[in-house]
Chains A and B, each alone.
Chain A
């Protein structure tokens, strides 16, 4: 301040100019990039939902509501509901497996805690396709699961383990289980162990303590984990394609096909919008519960 010799007004205007310059330098490039390569593409996608498709792909700029009416065609609605169901089942299984695992990790001594957590994250950082591929090997006719069952004499001919809805769910749980365990672990770790002791001290058994103290207090973690598993499961198209054998298609496959096979961009965009709408509802629900807790 002492270096400036001008009047108060010019000092202030210089400060304002320097603030504007800071904004331009720091926020300018990133925001421009996001506007061009994120917001404009999304806006295009959303605007397509009200236009007609061209006969050979592309867009005819004529307003129509047919994309939305088609969304409620039982054929497509069935796929959306089916995807919701598969994603929900995968999320539930991941929660039931992930909660006790996260709970136990949180009780481990510090050194083992780190190792156990890294071991949970490690598969997640390996190539997604490779992990799905591993399940094809495991579950195929001559694969390890069938051959083990046959060696044990439990079955005499290989089971059809691949290419059904169960396989899709297995693939989804396998891919996204780490995303369930991490937020659960964070929530459980944060929980004051004295609260559980207090509950026991007041006469509550282990089950009661879990239901009225541990679970309600880790609920935000539960919801975050569920969101982290549900979101990528719901819009997935690789797992249904590679493990579902194309027979049980999910909404992700449908969207992909609209863009790459039938080249119906308006309907594909509408499906994508529906996907986003479901996710926004879930995000709002999670934010609401986190605020309440």
Chain B
């Protein structure tokens, strides 16, 4: 549906995007995830028409998008700051885009009422933006964008300005709305939990390029680049060379992993903290000493200093743990839980 091919953009010496290609499907909830400055916002602004790429093409259902002026594109954006017009009421803000389409007054009213109901703001229609809470403003911004029934809805860090509780609520709301209206959503975020919980598929950006495009679970379980392994979720990463049983580390010996790589390839092994078992002292793959235990309610984090490795290995266990700082432990994991990534 949306096809981005070979898009590059430079600002002076800085390369914001280099040769980015993506394909986003009809009705999909797609996330562009990456640290700040990775180019994801530039891509969003290119799609909205506020920036032009130096190279590359963007088509929507086969039509060239880049040739159209920003105000003619069937693409709407929900701004990170919401960019609500402060001098207009909620209803006027939402009606603004429809009035540009020269629709009849009655139809504009009808659609505004309908969308305000959909986001639960029908009683706020006469208020000004500054009289609303953060969550309410966010809903207005969303209503203003979806009332146009765009073919593509872009959301720039949609939840970043909200506090934790409202955020969880809005997350559900966004998903519900996306199901309801069936518009293709592209959300830009630096928050991996936001991306994971919202999106059908995620493109991880780093330094102007796409690292990996996958469904959230796939991305988490099978990171394919060192950056993704380190960026998405917590990970314990070991360096070494691939071997038939997993990874051959220089000082740690053979570490179990799901190897598909030719023997001897320089590689990283990534093991999620929650996949590591704390075993008795003489079993397991690695031995070490507990240096820190932190309790988080549902889970506990145990840091284990392993000789031959600078950083402690992080282990996550369910609930409170019996292990105490200073005790010797052994660490182990199943072969399938070690993911090998070529370096």
Whether the complex brings A and B within 8 Å at their CB atoms is answered yes
Q: Do A293 and B77 form a contact, CB below 8 Å, given A197-B48, A200-B71, A203-B101?
A: no
Asked if residues A203 and B72 are in contact (CB atoms below 8 Å), the reply is yes
Distance, CA A194 to CA B69, complexed state (A): 16
Distance, CA A23 to CA B84, complexed state (A): 46
Asked if residues A198 and B79 are in contact (CB atoms below 8 Å), the reply is yes
Residues 177-206 of chain A, each 1 if its beta carbon lies under 8 Å from chain B, else 0: 000000000000000101101111111110
Q: Do A203 and B97 form a contact, CB below 8 Å, given A194-B81, A197-B70, A197-B79?
A: yes
Q: Give the distance to chain B from A22, nearest Cβ to Cβ, in Å.
A: 37
Q: Residue B87 at the A interface, CB < 8 A?
A: yes
Residues 176-216 of chain B, each 1 if its beta carbon lies under 8 Å from chain A, else 0: 00000000000000000000000000000000000000000
Q: Do A197 and B83 form a contact, CB below 8 Å, given A203-B71, A203-B72, A204-B71?
A: yes
CB contacts (< 8 Å) of B71 on chain A: these are 199-205, 209
Q: Residue A217 at the B interface, CB < 8 A?
A: yes
Q: Give the distance to chain A from B63, nearest Cβ to Cβ, in Å.
A: 17
Q: Do A216 and B81 form a contact, CB below 8 Å, given A202-B144, A204-B96?
A: no
Q: Is the interface of B mostly helix, strand, loop or mixed?
A: loop
Asked if residues A199 and B96 are in contact (CB atoms below 8 Å), the reply is yes
Chain B: number of interface residues, binned into ranges: 20 to 34
Residues 123-146 of chain B, each 1 if its beta carbon lies under 8 Å from chain A, else 0: 000000000000000000000110
CB contacts (< 8 Å) of B50 on chain A: these are 197, 200
Q: Which of B30-83 contact A (CB under 8 A)?
A: 48-50, 69-72, 75-77, 79, 81, 83
Asked if residues A203 and B79 are in contact (CB atoms below 8 Å), the reply is no
Asked if residues B96 and A201 are in contact (CB atoms below 8 Å), the reply is no
CB contacts (< 8 Å) of B96 on chain A: these are 199, 202, 204, 212
CB contacts (< 8 Å) of B79 on chain A: these are 194, 197-198
Q: Give the distance to chain A from B41, nearest Cβ to Cβ, in Å.
A: 12
- Of the residues B48, B81, B84, B87, contact of A201 by C-beta under 8 Å: B48
CB contacts (< 8 Å) of A204 on chain B: these are 71, 96, 100
CB contacts (< 8 Å) of B144 on chain A: these are 202
CB contacts (< 8 Å) of B72 on chain A: these are 203
Q: Residue B272 at the A interface, CB < 8 A?
A: no
Q: Residue A282 at the B interface, CB < 8 A?
A: no
Distance, CA A204 to CA B101, complexed state (A): 9
Q: Do A194 and B148 form a contact, CB below 8 Å, given A202-B97, A208-B100?
A: no
CB contacts (< 8 Å) of A293 on chain B: these are 87
Q: Give the distance to chain A from B255, nearest Cβ to Cβ, in Å.
A: 49
Q: Give the distance to chain A from B294, nearest Cβ to Cβ, in Å.
A: 40
Q: Residue B12 at the A interface, CB < 8 A?
A: no
Distance, CA A205 to CA B85, complexed state (A): 16
Q: Residue A213 at the B interface, CB < 8 A?
A: yes
Q: Give the distance to chain B from A190, nearest Cβ to Cβ, in Å.
A: 11
Q: Residue B308 at the A interface, CB < 8 A?
A: no
CB contacts (< 8 Å) of B86 on chain A: these are 217
Residues 85-99 of chain B, each 1 if its beta carbon lies under 8 Å from chain A, else 0: 111000000001100
Q: Give the distance to chain A from B9, nearest Cβ to Cβ, in Å.
A: 17
Q: Give the distance to chain B from A212, nearest Cβ to Cβ, in Å.
A: 7
Asked if residues A201 and B70 are in contact (CB atoms below 8 Å), the reply is yes
Q: Do A203 and B148 form a contact, CB below 8 Å, given A192-B81, A208-B100, A212-B96?
A: yes
Q: Do A192 and B100 form a contact, CB below 8 Å, given A203-B148, A204-B71, A205-B71?
A: no
Most chain A CB within 10 A, of B50, B76, B100, is at B100
Closest 8 CB pairs of A and B: A202-B97, A203-B100, A198-B83, A194-B83, A200-B70, A200-B71, A201-B77, A216-B87
17 inter-chain pairs at a CB distance below 8 angstroms, sorted by A residue, are: A192-B81, A194-B79, A194-B81, A197-B83, A198-B83, A198-B85, A199-B96, A200-B69, A200-B70, A201-B71, A201-B76, A202-B100, A203-B71, A203-B97, A204-B71, A204-B100, A217-B86
Question: What residues of chain A have their CB less than 8 Å away from a CB belonging to chain B?
Answer: 192, 194-195, 197-205, 208-209, 212-213, 216-217, 293
- Known A194-B81, A195-B83; further 18 A-B contacts with Cβ < 8 A: A192-B81, A192-B83, A197-B48, A197-B50, A197-B70, A197-B77, A199-B96, A200-B49, A201-B49, A202-B76, A202-B148, A203-B71, A203-B101, A203-B148, A204-B100, A209-B71, A217-B86, A293-B87
